[in-house]
Amino acid sequence: MRINRFFQVSALVGAILMFTGCKKEASRSTGWEYNNPKNGGFEKPDFVDQETGPGLVFVEGGTFTMGNTQDDVMFEWNNSPRRITVSSFYMDETEVRNLDYLEYLYWLSRVYVTYPYVYRKALPDSLVWRQKLAYNEPFVEYYLRHPAYRNYPVVGVSWDQASAYCSWRTDRVNEMLLIRRGILNVNPNQSDGDNFNTEAYLAGQYDGLPTDKQRQDLNPNGSGTRKVKMEDGILLPKYRLPTEAEWEYAALGLIGNTLYERVVERKNYPWNGSQVRTNESRYYGSFMDNFKRGKGDYMGVAGNLNDGADIPAACGSFFPNDYGLYNMAGNVSEWVMDVYRPLNSYDVADLRPFRGNVFQKLVVQPGPDNILADKDSLGHMQYEDVTIKDAVDRRNYRQADNINFLDGDFASNIDNNDWANPPSDTSATGLMYEYGRTSMISDHARVYKGGNWKDQAFYMSPSTRRYLEQTEASDAIGFRCAMTRVGGSIAGK
């Protein structure tokens, strides 16, 4: 009897599973089935988790104390400690290499045949190597292009150039994902404005070479097939520069320095301890990154070199931090997204802080239908700043340019005479900083983080911050890309 009862229960469970397995998922709001063209075809594509883009490492976010971890020996007082939270995100394992940037330059020269200035505009400034009293001409000639330096970090790149590289990389990766899914064929004959751009593709302004494996359009009034949409979860978010908060958080690597929710030690460097040498017995005494030990000492004594690199070392040299990120203390300093302001501890948000927002919208054609304007001659969608009229009913912002908010705008001015006679441009930085006269701070001064091969140990702390005009470059500044994490803060969930 027990055996028969067992088989009866098993058969019932199997029938239930078979019935529920065949039933399509329905909306919890309306009860209508998803993905059913008979009832309108609203789609709910399968999605598991965000794919990790090429070259990236997942950085689990959290709260931390951002700011000085050592004495402010430069007396700049621009980095008071404050508690903030950084969302999970992705970041390049290493700095962008010469090889990566040469791939970018090659693509520009191959595609923009009619617009050679695009290639010239992207060229790194190799003359940054020149010094009036040093023989650095070999680096001017060879550092970017000789294969001996292919894995070294690219330098001589301005903030503007680094940001443009990030945009290009976004499009190349998303194009590769569509090709890998069999949705597009490889198209080596792209030229000028007829090239894959993620936003143009999503807006229906780029077709490329589609295969016969297009997505099925479940809309009964549709054409039967459709392009990939952002809702499909195939395309990745944009590659971009990290924010200052993200960079500093990732550099500290606190996942290796916490006990449950307690940070047991404030780090000076991306590793535990306050020394620049490792205490691991296997590598005892080795330098943790590439920096200048003292005046005239860039790499040590022959036969006993310390960091072994007189200029930048190859990317991935030395030890990674607990996130698996290399060279977050030395080698080259790195651009981040933020506009520089010295009073950052008083005028930033405590969740995902960032200064530099200029809110924009896609340009539309004149008329009541709000049809998007055609992409430009380079294949990019056209953007413009939001207007005061666009934001008139908003509570969270009132204008496009928020770079000066609370630090440089009219509201931050303490001169009563100016309040009595407000200027026409109430967002002018000059109300706070006389750029070029008493200050080098402007709306185009961007932060760069971390030490480099020319720096001494003080600048190896992730908390240190410096700035440079976004159009300028240096032989000691490179960059790495980041990407927003969409969905949950824990990878795979």
Q: Is the per-residue pLDDT at 12 higher than 70?
A: no
Neighbouring C-beta atoms of residue 184, cutoff 10 Å: 24
Identify the three-state secondary structure at position 351. Answer: strand
pLDDT above 70 covers a percentage of the chain that reads 87
- Tokens at 372, concatenated: 């998007």
**Rounded CA separation 125/50 (Å):** 36
Can you say how many angstroms the Cα of residue 174 is from the centroid of all Cα atoms in its chain?
15
**Rounded CA separation 481/7 (Å):** 59
How much of the chain is in helix, strand and coil states, percent to nearest 5? 25, 15, 60
Going from the N-terminus, what domains does the chain have, and what CATH number goes with each?
A: 57-356+449-484 (3.90.1580.10), 358-402 (no CATH), 404-442 (no CATH)
Task: State the DSSP H helix or E strand holding residue 337, giving kind and residue range, or none if neither.
Answer: strand 333-339
DSSP 429-485: GGGT--BTTTB---TTEEEEES--TT--GGGGSTT-EEEEETT---TTEE---EEEP
- Tokens at 204, concatenated: 């229906």
Give the single-character DSSP code of 12: H
The pLDDT assigned to 19 comes to 47
Q: Is the per-residue pLDDT at 433 higher than 80?
A: no
**Rounded CA separation 110/52 (Å):** 28
CB 81 within 8 A of CB 113: no
Average pLDDT, the chain: 88
Q: Smallest Cα–Cα separation from 59: which of 349, 253, 270, 329?
A: 253
Tell me the per-residue pLDDT of 80-113, one tens digit each, with 9 for 90 and over: 888 999 999 999 999 999 999 999 999 999 999 9
Tell me the per-residue pLDDT of 458-480, one tens digit each, with 9 for 90 and over: 898 999 999 999 999 999 999 99
Neighbouring C-beta atoms of residue 443, cutoff 10 Å: 20
CB 475 within 8 A of CB 155: yes
- CA-derived radius of gyration, the chain: 27
pTM: 0.90
**Rounded CA separation 418/299 (Å):** 54
Tell me the per-residue pLDDT of 43-59, one tens digit each, with 9 for 90 and over: 999 999 999 999 999 99
Q: Is the per-residue pLDDT at 5 higher than 90?
A: no
**Rounded CA separation 225/46 (Å):** 18
**Sequence-distant (≥ 6) Cβ neighbours of residue 96 within 8 angstroms:** 153, 154, 162, 165, 478, 479, 480, 481
pLDDT above 90 covers a percentage of the chain that reads 63
The pLDDT assigned to 457 comes to 85
**Rounded CA separation 160/469 (Å):** 10
Neighbouring C-beta atoms of residue 180, cutoff 10 Å: 10
